[in-house]
Structure 1
Amino acid sequence: MNLLSCLWLLWRNWPLIAGSLALSVVTALALTAGTPPTYAASISMLVSTSNQEGGTITAYQAALLSQQRMQSYANLLTSRRVIQAIAEGEDVDRLRENVEAEAVPDTVLLRATVTDGDPHRAARLANSLGRAFAELIDKLEHPAQPSEGAKVSVSVVDQAQVPSAPIAPRLSINLALGVLVGLTLIGGAIIVKDQLDTTIRTPQALKQATAVPVLGEIGYEHSARRHPLIAERNSPSSRVEAFNTLRTNLQFMNTEHKPRSLVITSCLSGEGVSLVCSNLAIVLAEAGLRVTLVDGDLRRPSIAEYLRIGDGPGLTDVLTGRAEVSAVLRQRDVSAGRLSVLPSGPLPANPSVLLGSQRMRLLIDELVDACDIVLIDTPPLLPVTDAATLAASCDGVLLVARCGRSHRQDMARALDLLSSVGAHLVGTVLNFAPDRRGDALGYASRSPVEPGLTVGPL
């Protein structure tokens, strides 16, 4: 995952990140408000050594003696014996947890810090600790019958003052930690979710999953629900340009034999195959081609509804011998070419048998001879075998994937199914992709022909 992918991932999940930050801030504020304040009072003590003999060497030895005892005195400051002298009836072990002592490096100073919820009590305990410790050292270092040599004593040099502000909780630190933890958790969750997500969201991912060119990327538009056909639009849009790009890429494919009969299908239902098929037929006809659009979905047909040609006899009647193909073909007016539509007709009880029959293969050949290209709308590949059956009788297959819904494993199963019947996958279409609008004139933001495609006649 490169930097650009990470930035796009963050941008795509910005509402989740914003919500996580807001929750982190609220949590930090709640914890800060619910945490009782803690105050710290510190006292500094000097460890000094006195001697009877004097002299440079003796003074050096006395100073060295003081430094050697510093760590022992720091540990002694938090001993039960010293803490018990200032406990004031409290639990000694609990009070010991609130006392810290350290020897200041390279000095003969000791620093003791007492924390408490009451600032006055913290200062009082710290000063009591200094007096108690000085008395204890005086008893330990100056017995009743003192011996000759250096004597160590402890004196308070800085009395503890009543603290004016608590050391905890600190709102700024809590907010910073809350934001950091929130961003870390949500960032990790987004990355893990993205790595585990097998849905196809980009043309690059679709091409990687199928190993064939992505011939079109159809953007999502809210107005497509009211106006599903691009012929109903009076002004250019990114959706119109996307279908023009699909037409161009299909016309100028770098293949030896251009497909004259094309099955358009998907892995699962709800991926917009019928819309892609209808609009592709319109733009091909607008380019001056003779196009025949066949509704091969004999389970849930929708071509007649989209093109508003009404109910009536169709493909089922032709395959069962009840009607001739010339009698059921419907003509739709286009600006330049000719668009003939063969609706599904009545729903049969055995769609797969009809679509895989010899009569269907002969019908495809008849339609191909009468026009430039035949587009066949079919059910999804994985639930039923209709599309695979038709794919074996046609020149190529155009596979439609829905952005954010189609999965890589479904694509792999579809490819295996097409390969098993000897079908030729000419390319894919990414449908319902995030709309990347062009300029005000409706120019698309990318080249109409993908790398690897060369110009040639249909």
Structure 2
Amino acid sequence: AVTISSSQIDDGKTQLAVGTARAFARAGFSAIVVDAHPAFPGVGPALGVGELPLPTTVDAAALPIYHVEDNLDAVSIGSHKLLDGLPPAKTQAFIQRMRRIYQVTIIDTCDLFYDAFAVQCAAACDGVVLAVRYARDPDPEDDRVVATLEKMGARIVGSVPTDYPPQPFGRLVARLTRFSLFRRRP
């Protein structure tokens, strides 16, 4: 499971999450992209399927999973009502359940300091990919995000420029599979 996060709003996290999940699915992995951005849930529209229904629980067994295409599903848990105050144990249980069902879980979170759930996901996942708008100026928050992730023991897989040049999702998938985060099932 990988968390997509950043230090800024509007850094292209959703497009990166959706593009990466699609690339894994097209490479033959069973994948799910999880919309966990309570302020701007946008995975459904980015996938071209409209808004995803919000569940009433984060219990992975009861979630309304939307089948997008071969090997690719999506679910939204992007709600303050669901995520605010969610204990870390529930976040870990959710991610473990997704790991058991899917070979690849990509979680689209808000910027890391927006809510505790983004931090919990980063801690519970196998890795974190940071989205950074290619054309934006460096920001001290970028260093703060990296320092926070390192302090909590999260594994930073890399950072990806999200608006230029066009996203090389195939190369990102190859890089992530080298880290042994994902394995094909026989």
TM-score by length of structure 1 reads: 0.35
Q: Which residue in the other structure is 1:303 paired with?
A: 43
Q: Structure 1 residues 420, 287: closer, same or farther in 2, change over 3 A? A: same
Where does structure 2 lack aligned partners over 5 or more consecutive residues?
Answer: none
1:172-205 alpha-carbon deviations (Å, 9 max, x no partner): xxxxxxxxxxxxxxxxxxxxxxxxxxxxxxxxxx
Q: Which residue in the other structure is 1:411 paired with?
A: 142
Q: Within the alignment, does 1:389 sit opposite 2:125 as a pair?
A: no
Q: Structure 1 residues 350, 317: closer, same or farther in 2, change over 3 A? A: closer
CA–CA separation in structure 2 for the residues paired with 1:367 and 1:454: 18
Q: Which residue in the other structure is 1:324 paired with?
A: 62
Q: Which residue in the other structure is 2:108 paired with?
A: 377
Q: How does 1:20-419 map to 2 (within 5 A)?
A: 261-311=1-51, 313-314=53-54, 316-319=55-58, 324-325=62-63, 328-334=64-70, 338-344=71-77, 347-349=79-81, 351-354=83-86, 356-419=87-150
Letter in 2 for 1:339: L
Which secondary structure state, in structure 2, belongs to the residue aligned with residue 276 of structure 1? Answer: helix
Q: Structure 1 residues 420, 275: closer, same or farther in 2, change over 3 A? A: same
Which secondary structure state, in structure 1, belongs to the residue aligned with residue 148 of structure 2? Answer: helix
Greater Rg by CA = 1
Offset, 1:419: 2.0
Offset, 1:406: 4.7
Q: Which residue in the other structure is 1:141 paired with?
A: none
Letter in 1 for 2:49: I
CA–CA separation in structure 2 for the residues paired with 1:278 and 1:308: 10
Offset, 1:269: 0.6
1:305-324 alpha-carbon deviations (Å, 9 max, x no partner): 2223344543x5232x6971
Q: Structure 1 residues 434, 391: closer, same or farther in 2, change over 3 A? A: closer
Letter in 1 for 2:15: L
Where does structure 1 lack aligned partners over 5 or more consecutive residues?
Answer: 1-260, 436-443
Q: Structure 1 residues 305, 455: closer, same or farther in 2, change over 3 A? A: closer
Letter in 2 for 1:344: I
Q: Structure 1 residues 413, 312: closer, same or farther in 2, change over 3 A? A: closer
CA–CA separation in structure 1 for the residues paired with 2:177 and 2:14: 28
CA–CA separation in structure 2 for the residues paired with 1:432 and 1:386: 26
Q: Structure 1 residues 455, 341: closer, same or farther in 2, change over 3 A? A: closer
Which secondary structure state, in structure 2, belongs to the residue aligned with residue 375 of structure 1? Answer: strand
Offset, 1:348: 2.9
Offset, 1:340: 1.2
Q: Contact 2:56/2:82 (CA < 8 Å) preserved in 1? A: no
Offset, 1:434: 4.7
Q: Structure 1 residues 323, 362: closer, same or farther in 2, change over 3 A? A: closer
Q: Structure 1 residues 406, 339: closer, same or farther in 2, change over 3 A? A: farther
Q: Contact 1:352/1:386 (CA < 8 Å) preserved in 2? A: yes
CA–CA separation in structure 2 for the residues paired with 1:453 and 1:394: 13
Instruction: Report the identity percentage.
Output: 24
1:351-373 alpha-carbon deviations (Å, 9 max, x no partner): 3422x442221121111011111
Q: Structure 1 residues 275, 348: closer, same or farther in 2, change over 3 A? A: same
Q: Contact 2:44/2:52 (CA < 8 Å) preserved in 1? A: no
Letter in 1 for 2:67: Q
Q: Contact 1:268/1:383 (CA < 8 Å) preserved in 2? A: no
Q: Contact 1:267/1:406 (CA < 8 Å) preserved in 2? A: no
Q: Which residue in the other structure is 2:156 paired with?
A: 425
Q: Structure 1 residues 278, 453: closer, same or farther in 2, change over 3 A? A: closer
CA–CA separation in structure 1 for the residues paired with 2:179 and 2:123: 25
CA–CA separation in structure 2 for the residues paired with 1:453 and 1:363: 21
TM-score by length of structure 2 reads: 0.81
Letter in 2 for 1:330: Y
